[in-house]
């Protein structure tokens, strides 16, 4: 039987495809811009028939019917990065948050720490050889398809065919649902003066030939927008955004100086505009790989001069970084922050950077703090932190003692909070 015959024999409606999911099953589904919406909606329609279906995923965008109030008896989320769709459920005790380094998620499936019965993913249509591209989110989806008992594929004509180690064959699918829909879009907001100032400090730390890792938001966009004049920058990052696309289009990111995957931009997922998704389609410069490769510090660090830029909610005077919670309120997750902070620290000439505005709540609250909020999670330890950047400057903490760290961090705090922070530091005996 040809792969096309195999494909046709597996075609189902969304309701038919999820009919085999049973109570107690462990199910993984792709997230970010690759959420298999038709399959999720079909599974929600079966809620009354199911109990204790355990759902694993990374970031979910938009509304997720499986995490709505009242669904917790039927579906229990195991969120490996909390997002808008499941944040309320996690903080209300209706869903669970799994702290995990992004590059270690596939290991949870391989070692059956989270044993998978079903994987639900979204792909591009098959190519002439019967291969389906996982498109804008490879992440842990390829591992999920490998280790799950059953694989359900939502084929979307609008999913770009992204190259790299991003394919599964039609033969691996147990059910195929054709459903064409626009991919979720991440709107770009204007870059603030604070973000431009932070971006300017970061740009001053970059050298020609450096390899970049950045995520989403105003600070990465400010950096990408300010790179004109640089030569042969590279990209090895968990996420590609519109900002990265712009730097590639302007000839700033070429990858020609990279040690690893020379001439290629490496990612594990993408999130942005329809233009970005069109840009990724069959683009030979872009390669998507599984997260246990892209985010593995031993792999990423093979790129010399790796500049890793990651964000934080608050940083204390010893350099501890909280980026997944506001006090006890779970906001996001570990993601790839520690993966790339450690990769950049291992890289020859690398620069691990934590970047954040100096204040929150319109200047009413310092994000450089004497102590983290009660219950706040430390995502990046003080021993891992090298550089902290705010709009007021750069604090170089690597190899510094606690007194020197406190001095450096107070110097980049907002001026109206420096006296208060200095007093607190003296109270803690961090300063004489």
pLDDT at residue 257 in the model: 97
Phi, psi of 426 (to 5 degrees): -65, -35
- In angstroms, the CA 229 to CA 426 distance is 44
pLDDT at residue 188 in the model: 81
pLDDT at residue 417 in the model: 98
- In angstroms, the CA 57 to CA 158 distance is 22
pLDDT at residue 189 in the model: 83
pLDDT at residue 62 in the model: 87
- Other beta carbons within 10 angstroms of residue 76's beta carbon come to 18
CB 242 within 8 A of CB 272: yes
- In angstroms, the CA 379 to CA 297 distance is 16
The model carries a pTM of: 0.95
- In angstroms, the CA 216 to CA 226 distance is 15
SS3 state at 3: helix
* Catalytic sites, residue numbers: 238
Please give the structure tokens belonging to residue 145.
């398809």
Residue 359: partners with Cβ closer than 8 Å, 6 or more residues away: 365, 366, 367, 414, 417
CB 339 within 8 A of CB 277: no
Q: What is the pLDDT of residues 37-76, one digit of tens each?
A: 999 999 999 999 999 999 999 999 988 999 999 999 999 9
H-helix or E-strand spanning residue 240: strand 239-240
CB 214 within 8 A of CB 237: yes
- In angstroms, the CA 141 to CA 78 distance is 15
Residues of the chain below pLDDT 50: none
- Percentage of residues in the chain with pLDDT exceeding 70? 100
Q: What is the pLDDT of residues 185-235, one digit of tens each?
A: 998 888 999 999 999 999 999 999 999 999 889 999 999 999 999 999 999
- In angstroms, the CA 75 to CA 24 distance is 9
- In angstroms, the CA 198 to CA 11 distance is 51
Rg over CA atoms, the chain: 22
């Amino acid at each position: 039987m040809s792969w096309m015959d195999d494909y046709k024999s597996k075609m189902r409606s969304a309701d038919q495809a999820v009919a085999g999911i049973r109570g107690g099953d462990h199910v993984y589904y792709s997230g970010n811009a690759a959420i298999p919406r038709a399959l999720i909606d079909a599974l929600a329609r079966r809620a009354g028939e199911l109990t204790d279906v355990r759902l694993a995923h990374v970031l979910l965008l938009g509304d997720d019917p499986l995490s709505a109030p009242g669904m917790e008896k039927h579906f229990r989320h195991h969120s490996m990065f909390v997002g808008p769709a499941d944040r309320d459920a996690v903080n209300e005790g209706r869903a669970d948050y799994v702290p995990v380094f992004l590059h270690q998620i596939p290991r949870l499936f391989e070692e059956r720490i989270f044993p998978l019965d079903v994987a639900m993913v979204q792909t591009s249509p098959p190519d002439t050889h019967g291969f389906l591209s996982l498109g804008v989110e490879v992440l842990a989806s390829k591992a999920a398809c490998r280790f799950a008992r059953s694989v359900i594929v939502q084929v979307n004509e609008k999913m770009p065919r992204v190259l790299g180690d991003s394919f599964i064959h039609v033969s691996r699918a147990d059910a195929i649902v054709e459903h064409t829909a626009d991919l979720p879009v991440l709107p770009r907001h204007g870059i603030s003066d604070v973000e431009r100032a932070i971006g300017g400090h970061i740009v001053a730390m970059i050298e020609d030939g450096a390899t970049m890792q950045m995520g989403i938001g105003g600070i990465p966009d400010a950096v990408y927008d300010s790179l004109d004049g640089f030569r042969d920058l590279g990209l090895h990052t968990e996420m590609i955004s519109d900002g990265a696309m712009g730097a590639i289009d302007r000839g700033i990111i070429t990858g020609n100086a990279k040690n690893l995957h020379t001439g290629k931009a490496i990612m594990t997922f993408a999130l942005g505009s329809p233009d970005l998704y069109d840009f990724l389609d069959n683009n030979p410069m872009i390669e998507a790989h599984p997260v246990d490769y892209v985010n593995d510090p031993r792999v990423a660090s093979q790129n010399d001069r790796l500049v890793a830029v990651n964000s934080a909610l608050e940083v204390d005077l010893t350099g501890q970084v909280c980026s997944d919670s506001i006090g006890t309120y779970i906001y996001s997750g570990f993601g790839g922050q520690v993966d790339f902070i450690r990769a950049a620290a291992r890289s020859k000439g690398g620069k691990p950077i934590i970047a954040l505005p100096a204040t929150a709540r319109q200047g009413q609250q310092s994000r450089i703090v004497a102590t983290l909020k009660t219950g706040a999670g430390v995502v990046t330890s003080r021993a891992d932190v090298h550089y902290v950047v705010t709009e007021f400057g750069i604090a170089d903490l690597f190899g510094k003692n606690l007194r020197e760290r406190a001095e450096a961090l107070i110097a980049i705090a907002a001026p109206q909070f420096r006296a208060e922070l200095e007093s607190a530091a003296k109270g803690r005996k961090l300063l004489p």
